[in-house]
Structure 1
Amino acid sequence: MIRRWAADFALGMRLALGGGGARTALVRLTLTAVGVGLGVAVLLTASSVPNLLGARDDRASARALVPGAPAEGVDPVHAITRNDEFRGHGLQGYLVQLTGPRPPAAPGVDRLPEPGEVVLSPALAGLLRSPEGELLRPRFAGRVLGTIGDAGLTGPNELRFYVGSDTVAQQPDAALVSRFGYETSRRPLSSLELLLVVMGATTCLVPVFVFVVTSTRLAAAARDRRLAALRLVGADRGQVHRIAAGEALLGAFAGLLAGLALFQLIRVLVPRITVDAFRGGLFGTDVVPDWRLGVPALLALPVLACAAAVFALRQVVIEPLGVERRGTRTRRKLAWRLFPAVVGGALLLTGLGGDGADHPSVIVGVVFVLTAVPLVLPWVVERVAGLLGGGSPAWLLAVRRLQLDSATAARLVSGVAVVLTGSIALQGVYHRTESERPAPQEIRVLASYYATSVADGEAFTAAFHALPGLGDVPVRTRALIETASGERTSMVVEDCARLRAGAGIADCRDGDVYAATTRGSSVPEPGDHVWFAEVRRAARTAVPQWTVPAVHRVPAYGEDASELIVTPAALATASGVGLTVSATLPDADPDLVERVRNVVGWNGSVDSLGTGQDGTSALITRVLSVGSVLVLLFVAGSLLVAAWEQLRERRRSLAALAANGVGRGVLARSLVWQLVVPVAVAVLVAVPAGLALDWLVLTFVVHRPMSADVPAIALLTATAIAAVLFVTAMTLPALWRTTNLENLREE
C-alpha cells in the first residue's frame, strides 16, 4: 500500500513538471513556487525575531558597565555612560579613564583608549569622515585608535564610541569598573505591550498561510482536466486525490527551496537597512530562525498544501469524460464558516485579566477570529454577486464571471481582508496605548556642563554666550553640598552684579555668602566643613573640601532659589569643586544646538526635554509598523501572482472574446470590476470584524475601553484599496498579451 501511494505521489509530481506541455507546466510550477516561497521567507523571518532580539540584548548586556570590587589581575577604569545626539541620531558610548596597564576587556575593542584617543564604531567613523559630520568632529578630536567590532555593537549602523579622558573620576555618576557585561535581564512587557505583540504577530502570519493555501490551488482548471484524463485510463478516485496531492507537494517543495533562497537574500540585505526603527540596524548573522517555531511551520506547509489540494476537490466531480463543478449549483453554507469566529470570540470573552494578553487562549482566539475572515468572505461575495444586475458590457462580463466563480475572486482578496482586519484591531490597541501615555511636556533644550572650578564654569559660560543668538540667555551655576552627617543643602553661585540687580543686595561684595531665610530648612553654620556631594561620591574623599565662611541672611532669591547663595570668590579656598552650569535654550536651529553640544563636550549633556517615549513601547510600535508595511507588500505581491495566473488560465476565453469584437478596453474595465467588487466586499467584512476584534481584546482581555482611531481606519482602508487597484494596473500588460489570437489554439 505504501509503495502504491508513493507511486501515486510520484506520478503527481511528474505531471506537475510536464502535464499540459513543458512550458506551461514550468510556468504553473514557478507561480506556485513563488507564492509558497514568499510565505516560507516570511515565516522564517518571523521565527527569527526571538533570536534577533535576544542576540541584540546579549551584546548590549555584554558591554554594560559593572561597578564592583576590583578583580585580581585587572586595573579598574573610571567609566561613565554618555548619551549624545547629532541631528536626531542617537550616539551612545563610554568615557573611560585608565588606572593601570591592565584594564578590563570590553567586547569588540582591542584596547581601551587613553586620554586623547577614541575608539569608534564603523558607522560613526564613516559619519565623521563624511561632509555631514563636520559639526560632529570637534567632539571626537582625539586620535582614532580603532573601530568597535560586531561583538560590541547591537547593529552595524550603531553610532557608538569609547573616549579616553583624564577627568572621568571627578565627574558625577562615574563608576569604578573592573569588568564589562552582566547576565541579560529583560523587563516584562505590560498587558497592552503584550497585546500589541500578539496582534501584530497574528496579523502578519495569518495572511501568509492564507496565501500558501491559495498558491497550491493555482491552475486548478488545468489540473482537473489532467485528472479527468487519468480517470479515463483507469485511475480511481483515491488515486486521483493522491495524484493531486503529489502535484501540490512538488509545488510546496519548490516553494520551500525558493523560500530558503529568498531568506538567505534577506539575511544579506538586512545589514543595509538603515531606518531608525531598528536602532542601529540589524546583523544578518542574528537573523537565525528559532527551530521551535521555524521547523513546525516549514513541516506544516507541505501538509497544508496537500490538504488544500485535496479539499479543493470536494466541489468537483472528476469522471473519465470530463470535469463537473458543483459549486454553482449548491449555495455555500454559512454556519460552519462562522464556527472559528464563534470559538475565537468565546476564548476572548473569558476575560483573562490585566496580565493575560500572552495567555495561549488569547493568541488562539485572535488567530481564530482572523481565520474566520477568509472563510466568511466567499459566502458574502457569492451572495453579493447574486444580487448584481445589468449595466455596461464590462460590468456584465465582470458580474457573470463573479457569479460563475466567486470563490476565486474571494481567494484573491482574502489576504487583503485579513491584513485589514488585523491592522484595524492593532490600530485600536495602539491608539489605546498612546492615550494612556502621559501627555508630552513643553519641549525644551537643556544644556548642562559639569565644572570642576569656578574658572572652568566661567569659561563655559563665556563660550556659551559667544554662540550666535545666545548672548542674553541666562546661565545658572548650582551645586549640592553636604555635611559630615549627610545633610544636604542646595547652592547657587552668583556674581554681585546679578545679586544687586535681581535680589536687591546693594552691599554685596565678592566673597560673601548668603542664606535664604524663608526656605524652611537649615543651612551649614559658619565654620562647618562640607563636601561637594557629587565630588564626594565620585572621588570618595574623606577630607572636607570647603569651610563655610560667614553667612548673611537675605530673603529667598527667585522662584527656584537655592538655600545658599555664594559669590565666586567665596569658593577660592575650596579644595575641590563640583558645579553644574545649565541653561535652557530658546527655539534654535539644529546647527546651533550641535554647536552648543560641541561647547559642552563630554563634561555635560544637551537634552531635549518633553520628547521622551518608553523605549520598549516605541520599539514594538516601530517594528510592527515596518512589519505591517512588509506584509502589505507581501499581500500585494501574492495578489499579483494570483491575478497573473488567473489571466493565464483564462487566456483562451479572453482571446475568444477579443476575436468576437470585444475591445481590450472593455476587457480591462471588466478585469477592474472583477477585483473592485470583491475588494469592496472584503472591506465591508474586514472593517466590522476588525472593530469587533478590537472591542473583544480591549474590553475582555486587558479591561480597557474600546478605542477606535477613525482617521487611521480610513487610511488603512484606502491603502488596501489602492494596493488592489495598483495590482490591477500591473496586470493590464499581461491582459494585452492574453488577448492575442494565438491563444485560441488548443494546447
Structure 2
Amino acid sequence: MIRRWIADLLLGMRLALGGGGARTALVRLALTATGVGLGVVVLLTATSVPHLIGARDDRAGGRVPDFAAAAPGVDPVYALARVDEYRGRGLGGYLVQPTGPHPPAAPGVDRLPGPGEAVLSPALADLLRSPEGELLRPRFPQRVVGTIGDAGLTGPHELFFYVGSATVAQLPDAAPVSRFGAETHRRALSSLELLLVVVGATTCLVPVFVFVVTSTRLAAAARDRRLASLRLIGADRGQVRRIAAGEALLGSFGGLLAGLALFQLVRALVPRITVTAFRGGLFGADVVPDWRLGVPALLVLPVLACAAAVFALRTVVIEPLGVVRRGTRIRRRLWWRLLPVAAGWALLFTGTDDAESPGVIAGIVLILTAVPLLLPWVVERVAGLLRGGSPAWLLAVRRLQLDSATAARLVSGVAVVLAGSIALQGVYSRTESDRPAPQEVKVLASFHATSYAEGEAFAAAFRALPGRRDAPLRTRGLIENAAGERASITVGTCAELRARAGLAECRDGDVYATGAVGYLPAAGDHVWFSAAGPRAVPQWTVPAVHRLPGARDETAALLVTPAALATASGVGLTVDADVPTADADLVERVRNTVGWNGTVYSLGTGSDGTYALITRALSVGSVLVLLFVAGSLLVAAWEQLRERRRSLAALMAGGVGRGVLARSLVWQLAIPVAVAVAVAVPAGLALDWLVLTLVVHRPMVVDAPAIAVLTATAIAAVLIVTALTLPALWRTASLENLREE
C-alpha cells in the first residue's frame, strides 16, 4: 500500500513537470512554487523574531557594566554611561578611566581606550568621516584606536562608543567596574502592545496561507484533463487524488527550496535596513528561525498545498471520457463558516483580563481566519442578485455567477489585510490616547564641573554661541555629611544671588540659607559633593552660614558665593541651561559645548522604544504583506486569463471589442473588492471592539480618516493590479488562441 501511494505521488510529480506541454507545466509549477516560496519566507522570518530580539538584548546586556562584581587580577575602570543623539539618531556609549594596565574586557573591543583615546562603532566612524558628521566631530577630538565588533553592538548602524577620560572618577554616578555583562531585566509587553503583536502577526500570516491554497488551484482545467486521461487508462478515483496531491507536492518542494534561497537573500538584505525605530539596525546573523516553530511552519505548507489540491476535486467528476464539473451549483452553506467567528468570540471572553492567554491569541486568529471563509459565501450571494447593465457588466456578472469562488479567493488576502489593519489602527489609537499628553517641548543642557572655574568656562563658551549671550544659567550642586544628610546648593556671584534671591547684603566668600532647608550645615562641618557618598577625605569645610529671615520656599537651597569654595577639593557642580528648539544646528553646537561632561536632553519628546519598535515593524510588515497580496493577486489574475484564452478569443472573434473585455475584467475584480471591503471593515471594527472591550477594558476609539486611507489603499492596490493585467488580456484575446493545442 505504501509503495503504491509513493508511486502515485511520484507519477503526479512527473506529470506536474511535463504534462500538458512543457511550457504550460513549467509555468504552472513556477506559480505554485512562488506561492509556497513566499509563504516560506514570511513564516521563517516570523519565527526568527524571538531569536532576533533575544540576540539584540543579549549583546546589549553583555556590555552593561557589572558594578557589583569584583574580578581578581583585573584593574577596575571608572565607567559612566552617556546617552545622546545627533540629528535625531540615537548616540550612546561609556566614558571610561582605567586604573591600571589590566582593565576588564568589553565585548567587541580589543582594549578599552585610555585618556585621549576612543573606540567607535563602524557606523559612528563612518559618520564622523562623512560631510554629514561635521557638527559631530567636535564631540570626538580623541584619537581613534579601534572599532567595536559585532559582539558589542545591537545592530550594524548603531552609533556607540567608548571614550577614555582622566576625569571620569570625579563625575557624578561614576563607579569602578571590574566586569562587563550585568544581568538585564527585559520589560514585559503591556496588554495593548501584546495585542498589537498578535493582530499584526496574524494579519501578515493569514494572507500567505490563502495564497498557498490559491496557488495550488492554478491551471486547474489543464490538470483535470490530464487526470481524465489517467482514468481512461485505468486509474481509480483514489489514485487520481493521490496523483493530484503529487503534483501539488512537487510545487511545494520547489517552493521550499525557493523560499529557503529567498530567506538567505532576506538575511543578506536585513543589515541594510535603516529604519530609526529598529535602533541601530539588524544583523543578518540574528535572523535565525526557532526550529521548534520553523520546522512545523515548513511542514504545514506542503500539507496545506496537498490538502487544497485534493479538496478542490470535490466538485469535479473526473471520468475516463472527460471532466464534468457539477452542473447543479450547490449553494454554499453559511453555518460552518460562522463557527470560527463564534469560537473566536467565545475564546476572547475566556481571556478576559489576560492578553497573554492562549484563548485570546486563538480568538484573534480565528476571527481573522473567518474573513476568507465568509467572503466566498457573500460574493456568491451578491453576484446572484446582480442583474442588467452594459455588455461589460453582463460579462463580468455572468462570470462571477459561474465561478464566484475564484474571484473571492483572489481578493480574500486583501480583505484579511484590510480587516487586520483596521483592528491594528484601533489598538494604535487606543494606545496613543492612553499615553500622557505631550508636554511643551523643552531642551535642557547640564554640564558637570569639577570646579567653579570650570563651570564659569562652560558658561562663557555657552554664551558665545549665536543668540545665547544673555542666556540664564544656574550652577547647582549637592552636599552630604558623614551621617548621610544632604542639602542642595546654588552657586553664584553676589549680583546673580541678589537677582535670584533678593539678597540685601552679600559678600563673596559667604554662604546663605534661604527657605526651609532640610539639612542646615554648621560652620566647620565636613561634607562631600554629589551623591557618591562619603570618601576618605572631606571635600569641603563649610564656612559660617547666614540664615536669611522670612523666607519659606520649600525648594530653596544654600546660596554659596564662589570664594566660599576656594578651599574645596573635587567640587561637583552642575550648570543648567535652557536651549531653544527652533534651530537644530544650535542644539548640536550646545551638545558639542557640553561635551561628555554633561547631558543635553529633551522634555516632552520622549517615547517608548519598545512601542516604537513594535508599531514601526508592524507598519513595515503591513506594507510588505499588502505588496505580497497585490503580487499574488496579479499572478492569479494572469493565470485566470491564460486558462480563459479560448473563450476570450471567441468573444473577440464574435465582435466583442477590447474595451468591453477590459471593462469586464475591471468589473470582475471591482465587484469582489467592494464585497471584500464591506466584509473587512465591519470585521476589523468588531475585532477592535472585542479585544479592547473584553480583554483590556478600554473604550473603543474609531479613527475614521485612518480607516478611509486604509480602504482607499486596498482598493488602489487592486485597481493597479487590474491595470497591469490589461496587456496580458490583449495577448490572451488574440484569434490565434482559437486553435486547439
**TM-score, with structure 2 as normaliser:** 0.97
Counterpart Cα distance in 1 of 2:327 and 2:70: 79
CA deviations 1:12-38 (Å, max 9, x no partner) are: 111111111001111111111111111
Partner residue, 1:83: 83
Partner residue, 1:691: 685
CA deviations 1:503-538 (Å, max 9, x no partner) are: 33343222222111x32644212222222134x44x
Partner residue, 2:461: 463
2:630 to 636, 641, 657: 636
Counterpart Cα distance in 1 of 2:75 and 2:158: 28
**Aligned partner of residue 145 in structure 2, secondary structure:** strand
User: Is 1:527 aligned to 2:531, yes or no?
Assistant: no
**Aligned partner of residue 179 in structure 2, secondary structure:** strand
**Aligned partner of residue 66 in structure 1, secondary structure:** coil
Counterpart Cα distance in 2 of 1:382 and 1:93: 62
**Aligned partner of residue 453 in structure 2, secondary structure:** helix
Partner residue, 1:627: 621
Counterpart Cα distance in 2 of 1:559 and 1:91: 39
Partner residue, 2:413: 415
2:591 to 597, 602, 609: 597
Residues 353, 701 of structure 1: 8 Å contact kept: yes
Partner residue, 1:41: 41
Partner residue, 1:483: 481
1:613-624 aligned at under 5 Å gives the runs: 613-624=607-618
CA deviations 1:522-560 (Å, max 9, x no partner) are: 4212222222134x44xx523222222222233688978
In structure 2, the CA distance between the partners of 1:292 and 1:69, relative to structure 1 (3 Å rule), is closer
Identical aligned residues as a percent: 79
Counterpart Cα distance in 1 of 2:69 and 2:696: 45
**Aligned partner of residue 580 in structure 1, secondary structure:** strand
Q: Gaps spanning 5+ residues in structure 2: where?
A: none
Counterpart Cα distance in 1 of 2:260 and 2:364: 28
Partner residue, 1:609: 603
In structure 2, the CA distance between the partners of 1:189 and 1:440, relative to structure 1 (3 Å rule), is same
In structure 2, the CA distance between the partners of 1:570 and 1:557, relative to structure 1 (3 Å rule), is farther
Residues 328, 404 of structure 1: 8 Å contact kept: no
User: Is 1:682 aligned to 2:676, yes or no?
Assistant: yes
Q: Letter of the aligned partner of 2:314 in structure 1?
A: R
CA deviations 1:457-479 (Å, max 9, x no partner) are: 00000000000011122110001
Stretch of structure 1 that moved more, 36-45 or 480-489: 480-489
Partner residue, 2:655: 661
Residues 28, 218 of structure 2: 8 Å contact kept: yes
Residues 43, 205 of structure 1: 8 Å contact kept: yes
Partner residue, 1:59: 59
Partner residue, 1:96: 96
User: Is 1:728 aligned to 2:728, yes or no?
Assistant: no
Partner residue, 2:733: 739
Q: Letter of the aligned partner of 1:493 in structure 2?
A: V
**TM-score, with structure 1 as normaliser:** 0.97
In structure 2, the CA distance between the partners of 1:59 and 1:522, relative to structure 1 (3 Å rule), is closer
Partner residue, 1:574: 568
Partner residue, 1:706: 700
Partner residue, 1:375: 373
Residues 62, 182 of structure 1: 8 Å contact kept: yes
1:86-235 aligned at under 5 Å gives the runs: 86-235=86-235
Q: Structure 1 residue 419: deviation in Å? A: 1.2
Residues 424, 713 of structure 1: 8 Å contact kept: yes
Counterpart Cα distance in 1 of 2:550 and 2:314: 89
Counterpart Cα distance in 1 of 2:18 and 2:554: 85
Counterpart Cα distance in 1 of 2:480 and 2:218: 79
Counterpart Cα distance in 1 of 2:356 and 2:581: 44
Residues 418, 686 of structure 1: 8 Å contact kept: yes
Counterpart Cα distance in 2 of 1:493 and 1:24: 86
**Aligned partner of residue 186 in structure 1, secondary structure:** coil
Residues 95, 165 of structure 1: 8 Å contact kept: yes
In structure 2, the CA distance between the partners of 1:588 and 1:512, relative to structure 1 (3 Å rule), is farther
Q: Gaps spanning 5+ residues in structure 1: where?
A: none
CA deviations 1:682-707 (Å, max 9, x no partner) are: 01111111111112212222222223
CA deviations 1:32-82 (Å, max 9, x no partner) are: 111111111101111111111111111111111110253111111000111
Partner residue, 1:22: 22
Residues 377, 685 of structure 1: 8 Å contact kept: yes
**Aligned partner of residue 67 in structure 1, secondary structure:** coil
Counterpart Cα distance in 2 of 1:224 and 1:479: 86
Counterpart Cα distance in 2 of 1:37 and 1:382: 30
**Aligned partner of residue 102 in structure 1, secondary structure:** coil
Root-mean-square deviation (CA), in Å? Answer: 1.6
Q: Structure 1 residue 498: deviation in Å? A: 2.3
**Aligned partner of residue 629 in structure 1, secondary structure:** helix
Q: Letter of the aligned partner of 1:649 in structure 2?
A: E
Residues 18, 25 of structure 2: 8 Å contact kept: yes
CA deviations 1:301-345 (Å, max 9, x no partner) are: 111111101111111112222222237621111111111111111
Residues 517, 558 of structure 2: 8 Å contact kept: no
1:439-450 aligned at under 5 Å gives the runs: 439-450=437-448
Q: Structure 1 residue 501: deviation in Å? A: 3.7
In structure 2, the CA distance between the partners of 1:321 and 1:559, relative to structure 1 (3 Å rule), is farther
Residues 40, 256 of structure 2: 8 Å contact kept: yes
Partner residue, 2:246: 246
Counterpart Cα distance in 2 of 1:381 and 1:588: 55
CA deviations 1:610-643 (Å, max 9, x no partner) are: 1112222222222212211121121111111111
**Aligned partner of residue 338 in structure 2, secondary structure:** helix
Q: Structure 1 residue 182: deviation in Å? A: 3.0
CA deviations 1:659-686 (Å, max 9, x no partner) are: 3322222222211111111111001111
In structure 2, the CA distance between the partners of 1:472 and 1:364, relative to structure 1 (3 Å rule), is same
Counterpart Cα distance in 2 of 1:635 and 1:327: 32
Residues 69, 179 of structure 2: 8 Å contact kept: no
In structure 2, the CA distance between the partners of 1:428 and 1:555, relative to structure 1 (3 Å rule), is farther
Counterpart Cα distance in 2 of 1:693 and 1:639: 25
Residues 68, 176 of structure 1: 8 Å contact kept: no
Residues 485, 519 of structure 2: 8 Å contact kept: no
Partner residue, 1:290: 290
**Aligned partner of residue 180 in structure 1, secondary structure:** coil
- The alignment covers a number of residue pairs equal to 741
**Aligned partner of residue 449 in structure 1, secondary structure:** strand
Q: Letter of the aligned partner of 1:529 in structure 2?
A: H
Counterpart Cα distance in 1 of 2:720 and 2:549: 73
Q: Structure 1 residue 602: deviation in Å? A: 0.4
CA deviations 1:481-514 (Å, max 9, x no partner) are: 1222211111111211223344333432222221
Stretch of structure 1 that moved more, 177-186 or 164-173: 177-186
CA deviations 1:74-122 (Å, max 9, x no partner) are: 1110001111100000011111000011111111001110111111111
Q: Letter of the aligned partner of 2:622 in structure 1?
A: S
1:295-374 aligned at under 5 Å gives the runs: 295-326=295-326, 329-350=329-350, 352-354=351-353, 356-374=354-372
1:472 to 458, 470, 473: 470
**Aligned partner of residue 330 in structure 2, secondary structure:** coil
Partner residue, 2:639: 645
Residues 393, 667 of structure 2: 8 Å contact kept: yes
Q: Letter of the aligned partner of 2:344 in structure 1?
A: G
CA deviations 1:223-268 (Å, max 9, x no partner) are: 1121122222222211111111111111111111111111111011
**Aligned partner of residue 66 in structure 2, secondary structure:** strand
Residues 497, 559 of structure 2: 8 Å contact kept: no
Partner residue, 1:270: 270
Counterpart Cα distance in 1 of 2:549 and 2:642: 90
